[in-house]
Amino acid sequence: MPELKMAEAAAKPADTQVLSVNDLQAWYGESHILHGINFNVGAGEVVTLLGRNGAGKTTTLKSVMGIIGKRTGSIRFDGKEITRASSDKIARMGIAFCPEERGIFSSLDVRENLLLPPIVRTGGLSLDQIFDLFPNLKERLNSQGTKLSGGEQQMLAIARILRTGARFLMLDEPTEGLAPVIIQQIGHTIARLKKEGFTILLVEQNFRFASTVADRYYIVEHGKVIDGFANSELSANMDKLHTYLGV
Ligand SMILES: Nc1ncnc2c1ncn2[C@@H]1O[C@H](COP(=O)(O)OP(=O)(O)OP(=O)(O)O)[C@@H](O)[C@H]1O
Ligand SMILES: [Mg+2]
């Protein structure tokens, strides 16, 4: 199939691979969810996983983070095999996960939420650097988690992993349920983080948003990666994408 070959070529990542996932399979208890996930993320790239509800995108991120009980295949980060490493060790290697549900503690204020995740490596952002990126958070420093808007919660969820020293960020549907103007702000934030040298693995349903920040895409369907292409090839892949995503 010449068409697929082209897509594979376009899906080739940058020279320095930070994350390399090969034939990843994962299970929740007896449920076999991932059936062979293959993708790469190059240093400094923004790579986006797209796919319908239930395709296995979140499970893929959780597998990389080491928080899925049973996983097989190979996940290499910075050249080291981490498939069987503990989530603790994976975090200390510099991988951070920002979950879809954001995980903001409603009984804690913004400052307490920010300070919660442990610093795992040197080189994390200082609070001043974080406030420079998210001026709103500075104004809301003493507000309780429950008082924050969805957008503020999402900003806080991203901000607090920047303190930890992680340089590889996995963001699960950061734009979900947010107003267009906030989505735009999140886009600016991701672009800025990329410029600062962070590597980002994004999960999105909103590919219009993803197209403003992503270098490359992979399509996840029924627990497999079935296609991949570069952002420069997005328009050529639009018809396929509509079919894959059912939009
Ligand atoms: N804790 C769990 N226990 C058992 N099955 C689960 C669990 N979490 C997810 N699943 C199942 O695994 C499959 C993949 O789910 P996953 O959350 O990875 O999909 P997703 O691509 O992130 O979907 P969405 O776009 O809805 O977030 C789904 O069929 C889901 O029902
Ligand atoms: Mg999900």
CATH number (domain holding residue 146): 3.40.50.300
Pocket probe for ligand 1: among 24, 25, 30, 31, the residue whose CB has the most ligand atoms within 8 Å is 31
Which backbone phi and psi does 80 adopt, to 5 degrees? -110, 140
Report the predicted TM-score, pTM, of the whole model to 2 decimal places: 0.93
- Size (the chain), residues: 247
Residue 7 domain-assigned (yes or no): no
Q: How many domains does the chain have?
A: 1
96 part of a folded domain: yes
Ligand 1, pocket-test mutation among 37, 59, 245, most atoms within 8 A of CB: 59
Q: State in Å: Cα 204 to ligand 1 middle.
A: 14
* Domain-embedded: residue 2: no
Structural domain range at position 151 = 14-245
Residues 6+ apart with CB under 8 A from 182: 149, 150, 151, 154, 175
Tell me which residue of 81, 94, 87 sits closest to 120, measured CA to CA: 94
Measure 58 CA to ligand 1 centroid, in angstroms: 7
Q: pLDDT tens track of the chain, all 247 residues?
A: 344 444 444 455 456 899 999 999 999 999 999 999 999 999 999 999 999 999 999 999 999 999 998 999 999 999 999 999 999 999 999 999 999 989 898 899 999 999 998 899 998 999 999 999 999 999 999 999 889 999 999 999 999 999 999 999 999 999 999 999 999 999 999 999 999 999 999 999 888 899 999 999 999 999 999 999 999 999 999 999 999 988 7
